[in-house]
Amino acid sequence: MTVPPARGPSSLLFPSFPCAAGVRPLLRETTLSFVERLASRFGVSAADVIAEFFASGNKKPMPSLTADGEVYFNAEARARFATLSRVPPEHLRRALPAWTRFEPAGRYDTGPAVTFYSAGSISPTGTACTRCTAARTGRSDPARLYMAAHRRLCVRHQMWLPGTQDVPDQNSGRSQLSLAQLPETVQALGRHTALLRRREHAADAYTVAQAIIATWWDAARPEETTWARRLDSLARANPAAELWSRAARDAVTYPDTVTLAGLLASPFWQHQVLADTGRHRPHVPADTPSFIRELALRLGRPWLAGVLADSDSGPLTAWLQACWRSRAGERERTVSMWRVAPAYRTPASSGCNPDRPSRTAGTADEAEADADGDTAQGFARGLALARTFAAKHGHLCIPYRHEKDGFQLGLWLSNQRATGPQLPPERSRALSDLDPWWNPPWSTLWQRIYLRARRLPGSGVTPEQGFPGTSENLGTWLYQQCQNYDSLHPQQRKLLTQIGITAETACRARPRRRNIAEARDQGLDHARSYWKQHQHLCASAADTHDGFPIGQWLSNLRVRARRGRLDPAVALQLDAMDPWWAPPWSSDWQRTCYTVRNLVGSGHTVAPENAFTAFDDELGQWLYTQCVTYPGLAVEQRQQLAAVGLTEQAAATARPDPATDSPSLETGLHYAHSYAALHGDLNTSPSDRHQGFPIGTWLSRQRRQANLHTSKFTSPYPADPLLTAIDPWWNPPWNAHWQINHRAARKLVEDGLDLLPEQGFPGTPDWTGQWLYTQCVGHPHLHPGQQQKLAQLGITAADARTARPRRVTQQASFDIGLDHARSYAARHGHLAVPTSESHDGYQLGRWLADKRKRATNGRLPRNRADALNAIDPWWNPPWGLPWQTAYHTVKAENHGRTLNTAAGFPGLPPDATRWLLTQCINYDDLHPGQQQLLTHLGITSKDAHAARPQQETRRRPRAGANRPRPTTVSSSIDGGLPYARSYAHAHDGLGTAHYDTEHNGFPLGWWLYEQRKRANAHVRRTGQPWPHEHALAALDPWWNPPWRISWQHSYTGLRSALTEDQHPSTSQRRWLTTQHTNWHTLHPDQRTLLTAASLNPTNEHPPGTHPK
């Protein structure tokens, strides 16, 4: 068909406009503003210009295109734009700050691309002075510039220039305010400029000061009259302007903002904040009196110091705390003191009408409905639970792990405290209404103990009398506060004053006197109760009884008893309950002995000869340890063991349990002695077991612990002397490889082989004999322990000097390998042995790989090749070992059954089915030897051509998709390529093959999906084309397009319908309309395909689409 010539994109919207001469960018202008001014010369919008020239290959950015944002172009789009505007690219780069700042990436790799950023993601912008813009451009089109705070004022025309977000109508000239009657605002610009030159952080300080001033403005305090006067003057100078905007507020408060910024940026006053607070974090501005007085003095508002003194939230308090935390900016690894919390960043169109409710006004109920979203809902739920807790307990000093109704209330409050003064004001006020000290600058534990002291009955505490009427812990805590009174936070001292502890009384405080008799009687009562329940007093130090620390109390008494300082009356009462409550041995031993006694009393039998099987593993190991150490026990200990049936005669018959999960040292030593008696040393491998005991694992653990102990301490490892007595080299300093070879040689000696160094170590394996010869050659340089171990094998220094190298003839070596090959073939029926496989300890796989390599290079003697051929004719196949291995695997899984090729080999595992289907598909390309082997399986040429996948394929879910995939079909390129060729020939390509498409019983759609996935992954990983790309591209150039494959399906279906003179369906006509609507967002190749089929927008009614 004839394809009409395509017109260039510029001819669609701008067919007759001569040029864009006269539109020049302003200095610091936003790119979007320049596009808008250029589009106005053509009589269109900026969205139309971007869509026509720069949105190719991208989604249209117009829905999110707002005037306060910015657009970024890539290099190709910038070149097109420069051509349209007829402005040299260098001029655009110098004038437009965002021109080359960012390189957007389009949907496709090539072509122009554009992206849009909202106002929150770019630098501040503002409206340019309309008079200055008209003088420079000769037109009244508005412009927007990147505008710092000190550029918000046009000195020439004395106009306040609002920010782009400050006014709702960017085309209204009334948004710029005249400052003719506000000379102090114009004069403040000079101070602002000088401040920027003098102070490093002046710009950041101005941002913080602006947030602070905004909160004061919203508070609408009656003492504030200066701003009201300026607002009236601004209204008189701008009778037609809208004053209820953020721009008016910034203009009115500009002089005070500059003054406050100068104070915040002053290093002197930053360090004065540190001097006022000392080492305490400021809680309220009143904690920095010098700074607050200076602030009120500079602003000319003496009343401000008293108003701000007790404010525990807001940007000013946040700045004071950040200044203290960062040590005036000298501590870098902290949050910057110039950061303004999102809750205090002045939003767009912030009102300044003093009659309307301020954004900080509100109640606790308003805080619960603060904003929609999960965060607001979570805060509302936490606030409700906090209100319930405060109503019950009177405070919000909740422990960190406290939960209520499944809600982690303690963690939630901790997160609110971490936010601190940067918390939104309505939320901070809601929590302060519940508890003014919900977020103290000290720990909440201190606050909870203080509240306990505040709830004491009576008029208060009396420090000079030793805090009578308080508990021991509380009285001790109060005395510590008196001792450290001068180092407390000022607000802590203020709270202590409320309970009667002032600076004077703290100096006269006396420690709380403990009632020793009362504490003794309390401890004895709990000891009696514990003894009645457990029948002993050997509690561990961490044990408690009814909330009383009985374990620690008894431990303290044991210490006093050993030192001879225990009250005899207390000792007498404890002895009456348990004679061994303070034994001369470990209380853990006594507690375990009592446990065994109770078990024996309940029917357990002590059977040392049966490894104490009636007890659990831990107690069994303890009992065996007592048997081993029985002679060293005290007489009283032996008497207690005899009472449970463990006498000296019974202990001599004790046997350890080899199946223990946590063997004791005595158990391990028992088997170590036995192993060394059998082998002569403790050279074990980690997998060795001796008499059922994992001796190798146990010794490996002992070596690791010994090495770790040596690296940390200078004292010897406790078990080292005991193991050294068995084998001095149980933990050798040489490597493990030497130990492995020594074990192999030791096993030969244990089997009765004489090593005979002078004869070249006959009868030893090649690698063992060579290792032994290497040790003989380097015998003088070996470690003394290595020489000793070689002597145990019968190799002395004299023998080493006479050693000869291990000499084994090639024929003898070949005969050994051939014997193992015969044995392997007799067991498995073939010699397709993987390289890493061993047979009876012989590395048969490596030996056969060496013979295959020699045979391939023509270096294997004929008689040796014949010997291997006699065992397996295909021991060295020309098609590679993996195919041969897979063949024998399938043969073993078939078990001699007849294969049903037409039904897809039912009854076989999926892997075997896929492999057989692949062989049948590629049968004609196989080697004759491979075809012969398949014949042994019952697959002839006729069967191979009749092979089909199973009609009812087993399916399993595929991760990441809801559609199943076949399990018995091969996804290899060779397995599906013949079906792809047949399908492409029948359907003129692969574009109509959907995921569920099958061709001749083969799941072609799923197979194509797998190939696309592999091709894309290969390109991402290597950056190179997929090796099989050409095979599929020859069938269909667009088999794997850069767009969604569903688009290709729709296009191919519509094209096929038109080719066959069929009327397109409703869905196809709707799809074509969508392509015409989004023509500029299509890939260039998509447009080429549509144009080639006469489906481009210039054809109003393509063939077959005329309405009836």
Q: Are 847 and 817 a contacting pair, CB within 8 Å?
A: yes
Q: What's the whole-number mean pLDDT along residues 938-966?
A: 61
Confidence of residue 966 (pLDDT cuts 50, 70, 90): low
| Residue 678 CB-density burial (10 A; 0-12 exposed, 13-18 middle, 19+ buried) | exposed
DSSP string, 260-273: HHHHHT-HHHHHHH
- Please tell me which of 16-20, 260-264, 758-762 the model is most confident about, judged by mean pLDDT: 260-264
Residue that has been written with the tokens 């940026």 in this structure: 265
Give the per-residue pLDDT at 22. Answer: 60
Calpha distance 567→572 (Å, rounded): 9
**Contact partners, residue 310, CB within 8 Å, separation at least 6:** 284, 286
| pLDDT tens by residue, 481-505 | 999 998 898 888 899 998 889 999 9
Confidence of residue 459 (pLDDT cuts 50, 70, 90): low
Q: What's the whole-number mean pLDDT along residues 189-216?
A: 91
CA 208 to chain centroid:
34
HEC-encoded secondary structure of 662-730: CCCHHHHHHHHHHHHHHHCCCCCCCCCCECCECHHHHHHHHHHHHHHHHHHCCCCCCCHHHHHHHCCCC
Residue 516 has pLDDT above 80, yes or no: no
Residue 254 has pLDDT above 50, yes or no: yes
Give the per-residue pLDDT at 964. Answer: 52
Helices (H), 860-972: 862-871, 881-894, 910-921, 928-936, 941-945
Calpha distance 825→851 (Å, rounded): 16
Q: What's the whole-number mean pLDDT along residues 321-341?
A: 77
Confidence of residue 279 (pLDDT cuts 50, 70, 90): confident
Residue 829: in which H helix or E strand, if any?
none
Calpha distance 944→948 (Å, rounded): 9
Over pLDDT 70: what percentage of the chain?
88
Residue 1104 has pLDDT above 80, yes or no: no
Q: Are 587 and 595 a contacting pair, CB within 8 Å?
A: no
DSSP string, 556-613: HHHHHHHTT-S-HHHHHHHHHH-TTSS-SS-HHHHHHHHHHHHHHHTT----GGGTTT
Residue 125: strand pairing partners? 146
CA distances from 441 to 235, 277, 484, 771 (A): 45, 12, 17, 72
Looking at per-residue pLDDT, the higher value among 209 and 956 belongs to 209
Q: Calculate helix-pair angle for 1045-1059, 1084-1092, nearest 10 degrees.
A: 10
Each domain of the chain, given as residue ranges in start order, spans 11-147, 171-344, 364-439, 446-507, 518-577, 584-655, 662-731, 736-801, 810-871, 1046-1092
Residue 9 has pLDDT above 50, yes or no: no
| pLDDT tens by residue, 984-1020 | 988 889 988 998 888 877 888 988 999 999 999 888 8
Provide the token pair at 537. Answer: 């007093």
| Selection from 117, 169, 166, 162 nearest residue 346 by Cα | 166
Looking at per-residue pLDDT, the higher value among 313 and 1035 belongs to 1035
Residue 347 has pLDDT above 70, yes or no: no
Give the per-residue pLDDT at 809. Answer: 67
| pLDDT tens by residue, 651-702 | 999 999 998 888 999 999 999 999 999 888 888 888 889 999 999 999 999 9
Question: Rounded mean pLDDT of the chain?
Answer: 83
Residue 144: strand pairing partners? 127
Residue 1 has pLDDT above 50, yes or no: no
| pLDDT tens by residue, 91-101 | 999 999 999 88
**Contact partners, residue 157, CB within 8 Å, separation at least 6:** 129, 131, 132
Q: What are phi and psi of 987, to 5 degrees?
A: -120, 10
Residue 865 has pLDDT above 80, yes or no: yes
**Contact partners, residue 794, CB within 8 Å, separation at least 6:** 749, 754, 755
Give the per-residue pLDDT at 524. Answer: 92
Give the per-residue pLDDT at 298. Answer: 93
Residue 60 has pLDDT above 60, yes or no: no
Confidence of residue 306 (pLDDT cuts 50, 70, 90): confident
Give the per-residue pLDDT at 346. Answer: 62
Give the per-residue pLDDT at 681. Answer: 85
Q: Are 585 and 639 a contacting pair, CB within 8 Å?
A: no
Give the per-residue pLDDT at 958. Answer: 45
pTM: 0.52
| pLDDT tens by residue, 125-181 | 988 998 898 888 888 888 999 988 888 899 889 888 888 877 665 444 557 888 888
| Selection from 52, 98, 48 nearest residue 73 by Cα | 98
Q: What's the whole-number mean pLDDT along residues 941-953?
A: 70
CA distances from 993 to 950, 1001, 1055 (A): 20, 14, 15
DSSP state of 899: P
Give the per-residue pLDDT at 108. Answer: 65
393-413: b or e for each residue (b if 16 or more CB lie within 10 Å)?
eebbbbeeebebeeeebbbbb
Give the per-residue pLDDT at 317. Answer: 87
Q: Are 343 and 416 a contacting pair, CB within 8 Å?
A: no
- Please tell me which of 254-268, 756-770, 919-933 the model is most confident about, judged by mean pLDDT: 254-268
Give the per-residue pLDDT at 812. Answer: 77
| Residue 325 CB-density burial (10 A; 0-12 exposed, 13-18 middle, 19+ buried) | middle
Range scoring the smallest mean pLDDT among 398-412, 461-475, 829-843: 461-475
Q: What are phi and psi of 117, to 5 degrees?
A: -115, 135
Calpha distance 714→693 (Å, rounded): 32
| pLDDT tens by residue, 693-733 | 999 999 999 999 999 999 998 888 999 999 999 988 898 98
| pLDDT tens by residue, 884-903 | 998 998 888 887 788 877 77
